[in-house]
Amino acid sequence: MATDFGVDEESRDTLVQSGTSSTRALAAFAVAVASVLFAISLTALFEVVTISEPIAGVPVTALLGGLLILLGGTVSMFGVGSRLGYVETDPRASAGLVAGIAFGGIWFTVASLTASQTFGLGGLGWFVVAPVIGGGAFFATILPREDVGSTVPAGALTALTGAVFLLDVIGPQWVWDLGFPDAFFVAVTAEFTIPTLTLFCSLLAGWASAKAYGGFGARGRHMGAYLLVYINALSIVGVLFVLLAFTIFKGLPGLFRGFAIGAGTGPTSTIVLFGTDITWTWPFYVPFAMEGVGLLNEFNGVLPAIFGTIWLVIGAVVFAVPLGVGAAIFLTEYAERGRFTQVVEVATNGLWSTPSIVFGLFGFAFLIPRFGGNKSLLSGALTLGFMLLPLVVITSREAMIAVPDEYRDASAALGVSKWQTIRSVVLPAALPGVVTGVILGVGRIAGETAPILLTMAGAPFTPGSETVDVIGGFQFTGAPPFVSNPALLEATSALPYQLYALITAGVGLGENVASPDQFQWATALVLLMVVLSFYAVGIAARYYFRRKLQYQ
């Protein structure tokens, strides 16, 4: 895009463009029509609006077709009007190679599909038609001035699509069989094609009209590009929002089945502190999070899986954080920067991008034989610890490197030893970064399924009585290794695995789960809540520390 840098041949003397309001309004109208079409096509794609049923007496295809022709017409008219001098714009000599290749490619595809599928021309016909039309579009884009080159090919395509819909060439009953073998049969239906084509044309024409709104030239390109970039950012946030909202909406009924609130409704819990039992009764009852699965249960829940996940995370953190922080201290404070640190850096980054299932395989081959030969909580936690380790090293290193050298120098100038400096100056200053990194990393491993699938997962439907009790499980024995903890060496369930098991088990969950669908979505929701709460805490911690540092 080196051409962008050149000064326009026809650039004007005015610094600020005082675009006339009426012509601007026409371009803004085109942008508005494009966004309406964008919205309709999205709703149609997700079957909120059905293609075959008319809206207010007008068939959807006719409506879309009409709007597309209107949009295409407006966009082309604007470009031609600008060329003939009716509209005051600031175009360049050409729309540029990138636009030319894009339009040429699009028209090439359209022409080849039409030639081979609609008109049934054979290889020869296709060979003639597609390059001619594609090449034509390419030259129609780059040869004329920018105002025509960037609007007419887009407008024409949009209008053509509109006409195709309006004339019922692609109607609600349209199907395109790709002609694959029977076992791999694929046919593209109108329910998919019509919204997708509309979506594409509205984006294309929307881009062209945003360019027109900016008066073409550098400003117009800026406008067109910003429109697309903003739509992209919006749709990413939109996808996130839809995913979360959908899971919450579907999961809440299952989560609150049998919900009760009031004194004495909840289960009774006991913890032993300093030899005395402290017992209390929860003032609310959420069976899904407080019960296991049992034949006699009125409501079933995932309590054992929740505890499994908690213990997994604790185990992974206990293993990975001291190791990772220690390694980061050595690399940033003690080691000389050179080959060795470079190798460790490459190794940690490599470890960080290693697929989780490979960690699972490693845990299966390395840890399981060393912890009693069967799947266990301990091997699961260590496997997740291996996954967490590189992240702890990377984020701790970043946090320690970010501590200004003046801190270290000032401390050293006071005659404080190196280790004392690290302990009382570097570590406290780096702590926020380390904590944030660890929390975000924990959020990631808490939702990992693949490694625990191979190293830890036991029966997915665990009765409430089999909830792991790591603290109560420690026993001291006379023979080496002197300490044993059956709770650590047994397989248990965890939330992500529970969800996986629920999916693969399908509808046949057995009679002890009343409505499988609700149970699945509620499990997904609980898992999402656990993982996202780690993220929320991590992100909040980062903001908190950053603000605090700024005030300093």
Partner 1 sequence: MATTQEERTGVETVARAVRRFRKFVDEMPAEVLVALAVMTLSLLGAFVGFLLVSSLTIVPFLVFLTSAAYGWVRYQGLTAKVLALSTTIMTILILLLITVFIFLEALPTIRFMSDTVFGIEVPGLGIFTTQNWDAVSPPINYSMVPMIHGTVLVTLIATAVAAPLGVAAALFLSEIAPAAVREVVKPGVEILAGIPSIVYGFIGFTILSPWASDQFSLVGQGSYVFVGIIVGLMALPTVVSVAEDALSSVPESMKSGSLAMGTTDWQTMTSITLPAAFSGVSAAVLLGVGRAIGETMAATVMLRGVPKLTEPIFNAFYGQETLTSLIARNYGEADGLQMSALFVAGVILFVTVLFLSIGSQYIEWRMRKKLGGEV
Contact 433, 450 (CB under 8 A): no
The least CB distance from residue 519 to partner 1, in Å, is 12
Using DSSP's 3-state secondary structure scheme, residue 260 falls into strand
- Over the window 385 to 414, marking each residue x when it contacts partner 1 by CB under 8 A and - when it does not, the resulting string is -x--xx--x-----------x--x------
Contact 126, 22 (CB under 8 A): no
Q: Select 123 or 337, whichever has its Cβ closest to partner 1.
A: 337
Residues 462-481 interacting with partner 1 (rule: CB under 8 A)? 479-481
Q: Select 29 or 371, whichever has its Cβ closest to partner 1.
A: 371
The radius of gyration of the chain's CA atoms, rounded to the nearest angstrom, is 32
Q: Running DSSP on this structure, what letter comes out for residue 57? A: T
CA–CA separation, 497 and 383 (whole Å): 15
Please select the residue that binds partner 1; options are 454, 456, 487, 509, rule is CB under 8 A: 454
Q: Select 70 or 513, whichever has its Cβ closest to partner 1.
A: 513
Q: Select 76 or 379, whichever has its Cβ closest to partner 1.
A: 379
Residues 410-429 interacting with partner 1 (rule: CB under 8 A)? 417-420, 422-423
Residues 226-285 interacting with partner 1 (rule: CB under 8 A)? 226, 228-230, 232-233, 236-237, 239-240, 243, 246-247
Q: Does 370 bind partner 1 (CB under 8 A)?
A: yes
* Residue 479: φ, ψ to 5°: -100, 155
For residue 435, which of 401, 392, 403 has the smallest C-alpha distance? 392
The least CB distance from residue 261 to partner 1, in Å, is 28
Q: Select 193 or 297, whichever has its Cβ closest to partner 1.
A: 193
Q: Does 383 bind partner 1 (CB under 8 A)?
A: no
- The partner residues of 457 in beta bridges, in order of sequence, read 492
Piece in contact with partner 1 (CB under 8 A), picked from 23-31, 123-131, 440-448, 507-515:
440-448
CA–CA separation, 493 and 466 (whole Å): 10
For residue 514, which of 205, 299, 256 has the smallest C-alpha distance? 299
CA–CA separation, 52 and 41 (whole Å): 14
Q: Are strands 187-189 and 175-177 parallel, antiparallel or unpaired?
A: antiparallel
The least CB distance from residue 354 to partner 1, in Å, is 6
DSSP letter for each residue of 278-317: EEEE-SEE-HHHH----TT-SS---HHHHHHHHHHHHHHH
The least CB distance from residue 281 to partner 1, in Å, is 33
Please select the residue that binds partner 1; options are 112, 449, 467, 492, rule is CB under 8 A: 449
Q: Select 159 or 170, whichever has its Cβ closest to partner 1.
A: 170
Contact 446, 312 (CB under 8 A): yes
Please select the residue that binds partner 1; options are 482, 508, 550, 551, rule is CB under 8 A: 482
Q: Which residue has the tokens 């001619």?
A: 132
- Over the window 36 to 55, marking each residue x when it contacts partner 1 by CB under 8 A and - when it does not, the resulting string is -----------x--------
Q: Does 5 bind partner 1 (CB under 8 A)?
A: yes
Q: Does 146 bind partner 1 (CB under 8 A)?
A: no
Q: Does 524 bind partner 1 (CB under 8 A)?
A: yes
For residue 460, which of 498, 517, 500 has the smallest C-alpha distance? 498
Cβ burial, residue 152 (10 Å; 0-12/13-18/19+):
buried
Q: Select 482 or 551, whichever has its Cβ closest to partner 1.
A: 482
Residues 6+ apart with CB under 8 A from 287: 257, 258, 259, 297, 298, 299, 300, 301
Residues 348-367 interacting with partner 1 (rule: CB under 8 A)? 348-362, 364-366
Q: Select 175 or 272, whichever has its Cβ closest to partner 1.
A: 175
Residues 151-210 interacting with partner 1 (rule: CB under 8 A)? 175, 180-189, 191-192
Maximum alpha-carbon separation in the chain: 98
The least CB distance from residue 119 to partner 1, in Å, is 23
Q: Which two tokens stand for residue 169?
A: 């060439």
Q: Select 85 or 181, whichever has its Cβ closest to partner 1.
A: 181
Using DSSP's 3-state secondary structure scheme, residue 15 falls into coil
Q: Select 267 or 369, whichever has its Cβ closest to partner 1.
A: 369
Residues 6+ apart with CB under 8 A from 363: 379, 380, 382, 383, 386, 451, 454, 455
Using DSSP's 3-state secondary structure scheme, residue 457 falls into strand
Piece in contact with partner 1 (CB under 8 A), picked from 112-120, 160-168, 294-302, 499-507:
499-507
The least CB distance from residue 80 to partner 1, in Å, is 25
Residues 317-346 interacting with partner 1 (rule: CB under 8 A)? 322-324, 326-327, 329-338, 343-346
Q: Select 40 or 331, whichever has its Cβ closest to partner 1.
A: 331
